[in-house]
Structure 1
């Protein structure tokens, strides 16, 4: 009880100093001096931050999710963090923390934690894609650790942004073998769970990550880390540096599923997505994974199967285009159904999702070109042809094409 009372008194004192000084700093830029409750690194960060950050903002700005997934796939931190993922999740769950890993810019690439803390964190975009550098989110432990290159903690109203006053955060930067900062490991929780042991835990975890980097990075430099280009709409081909990868159809299915779900699969779920209820031995399944891993020079994480090498996938690009409302790009890339010969349940599910999503975008579009182009691939879809007719000018000669397609589709019904 005494510890909690001390924390409450500290929070009240910091809130008072925040209310006293932040409006003055914002108005006049004067530097608070002689205030024991405030740390110099915090007040200096307040002054720098106020030029770009509104203390009343309710969340961190977000980087495009597709780029974040790609950056995490290619990050040198991914493999050592994957190796510690079970330990990180256990610590976060047991202690009531949410744990995050950023890149060198302060953009969060990976998080874990219990559902309650993750919901709290997501409300302020403390989640993949959230930007937590000083210019984006003001004074916080992530931004201090990135700026100083040293471990940092920020408690309650030491945060510049008021929505974070209910938090305490512990961070340490992760240095590569060459001394460069590659990112930050952060553990955050509510102010009343503040614990000095948390910083020791963060330091220990970062030391482990840095040790693994010293072992892993030389191996990575020997591998081919060029991006893989996966075509799986209407046809199937995986290329690296213009050379086809030696993959059997089952391995192409696995690669497509991993590209479509960057967060990866637990082994049982991936096995079900490939084989459904079929009786397939564990050794057969693991052999397919092993072959794919060798073809990608080790580019598939263990335990939770996920890509650790950059893969561009036309199906994933279609979905990202649809999310942006870019029907034109989606139609240009959508050259047919996903892996049309595959009967894997997971592929069939994604195939249907893609077909439904593209068709819905076409029917919602006000461009007759979209309906006409999609109609070439959907000759028996009378509704699409009717939509094209409704958009075409009465004098447009292309009406004959749409009308003919509609008539043929109606005859088939």
Structure 2
């Protein structure tokens, strides 16, 4: 608390400097002693395109945002570290934000109260925070300079951000390309120089995972088992029998594999089916996947991309945008195999519970599209959508149809 009077005085001096620049009609005054050189240069650039009175960052189209995050090389390493990011930020009263190379926010987690305040200026997934859009900020400076930096209080060009401090560092691919920025943000009076050290350490952890992933060969095979099932090898769809898809899905969802007895039970249940039938089914699957199924203990011999696994990872990371986008329907909806039925119920309950606990109406709307008979989901969307939002008409129609079914 002893630092607060000093910080308050520094903030007041910066506010005076900001006021002179903001009223200079694009003609900045002479250099200010209280203003850092890199901040002054950023203000000069930003004033050409940004109104300091802007209240909120512009937003990216929702569908485009989903595609950006799905295709981003940062998604896997950030998802793997999401638990650590959440623990650090919730304990410290901060939020963690990850952007792409264009300054668009792809991921956000942290203290719930701070997140709500951040959402008011669209420091949230979809917000555009590059310099030409939102002026001087930690994200913008890191993208421009390629260096770790902080922007505090009235160093932000946009007045709506004067209550914030952000600590940022760029995230780079193994070849040095800048892929985005990690930002830890909180209120101006909670600033501390050690936060930038934390950001650097977290970026190092993200980059280590990223570089290890990039060094490994990509999976040649992708299984899509949510909604319409499909198997792709080298980008081309492979025709598969329903039984082969069922066994392959079980092996993908349980990478540690099955004993023959347990797989027999998962596939055939209590039906009287000989062990030779299972061996024949697995043998046909092995041929269809070029030998990717081990023998004594039935398991996959190399990684396989799978939309159901990606959905579970997104839910574990709290990444609802990705989870809802991946859900194209129930797991192998036409299958009555006991193991598939059990996994189908598990996935549906996990995602539905998460959607009902989430405060983003877009997630309820997208999930409701796949679950037209779910009255509670449509009611949840109605509660979240503000009056005057045109999407209320869609939610109302779905609710009406579900109640008449």
| TM-score in terms of structure 1 length | 0.63
Alignment of 1:236 with 2:229, yes or no, is yes
**Counterpart of 1:373?**
none
Runs of 4+ in 1 over 4 A off after TM superposition: 228-233, 250-256, 290-293, 297-303, 305-308, 315-319, 340-343, 346-353
**Counterpart of 1:408?**
none
1:221-243 residue CA offsets vs partner (Å, 9 max, x unmatched) = x21479x685865x533435222
Query: In structure 2, the residue corresponding to 1:183 is in which secondary structure?
Result: strand
Alignment of 1:103 with 2:97, yes or no, is no
Alignment of 1:178 with 2:175, yes or no, is yes
**Counterpart of 1:339?**
333
Distance in 1, matches of 2:22 and 2:124, equals 27
Question: Is residue 20–residue 29 contact of structure 2 (8 Å, CA) maintained in 1?
Answer: no
Query: In structure 2, the residue corresponding to 1:13 is in which secondary structure?
Result: helix
Distance in 1, matches of 2:306 and 2:345, equals 27
1:292-318 residue CA offsets vs partner (Å, 9 max, x unmatched) = 98331899469945699xxxx9x9599
| TM-score in terms of structure 2 length | 0.64
State which of 26, 46, 50 in structure 2 corresponds to 1:49.
Answer: 46
User: CA separation of 1:8/1:225 partners in 2, compared to 1, >3 Å: closer, same or farther?
Assistant: farther
User: CA separation of 1:133/1:292 partners in 2, compared to 1, >3 Å: closer, same or farther?
Assistant: farther
State which of 363, 371, 390 in structure 2 corresponds to 1:354.
Answer: 371
Equivalent positions of 1:304-343 (< 5 A) are 304=313, 316=325, 339-341=333-335
Question: Is residue 98–residue 105 contact of structure 2 (8 Å, CA) maintained in 1?
Answer: yes
1:239-265 residue CA offsets vs partner (Å, 9 max, x unmatched) = 352223876348769999xxxxxxxxx
Query: In structure 2, the residue corresponding to 1:355 is in which secondary structure?
Result: coil
Equivalent positions of 1:229-268 (< 5 A) are 230=224, 235-240=228-233, 241-244=235-238, 248-249=245-246
Alignment of 1:61 with 2:54, yes or no, is no
**Counterpart of 2:213?**
216
**Counterpart of 1:12?**
12
User: CA separation of 1:296/1:5 partners in 2, compared to 1, >3 Å: closer, same or farther?
Assistant: same
Distance in 2, matches of 1:107 and 1:75, equals 12
Question: Is residue 164–residue 185 contact of structure 2 (8 Å, CA) maintained in 1?
Answer: yes
Query: In structure 1, the residue corresponding to 2:23 is in which secondary structure?
Result: helix
RMSD: 4.4
Query: In structure 2, the residue corresponding to 1:61 is in which secondary structure?
Result: coil
1:243-291 residue CA offsets vs partner (Å, 9 max, x unmatched) = 23876348769999xxxxxxxxxxxxxxxxxx9xxxxxxxxxxxxxx85
Alignment of 1:295 with 2:290, yes or no, is no
User: CA separation of 1:203/1:232 partners in 2, compared to 1, >3 Å: closer, same or farther?
Assistant: closer
Question: Is residue 300–residue 307 contact of structure 1 (8 Å, CA) maintained in 2?
Answer: no
Aligned pair count reads: 312
| Residue 60 of structure 1: how far off its partner (Å) | 1.0
Question: Is residue 82–residue 301 contact of structure 1 (8 Å, CA) maintained in 2?
Answer: no
Question: Is residue 136–residue 157 contact of structure 2 (8 Å, CA) maintained in 1?
Answer: yes
Query: In structure 2, the residue corresponding to 1:207 is in which secondary structure?
Result: helix
Distance in 2, matches of 1:62 and 1:254, equals 40
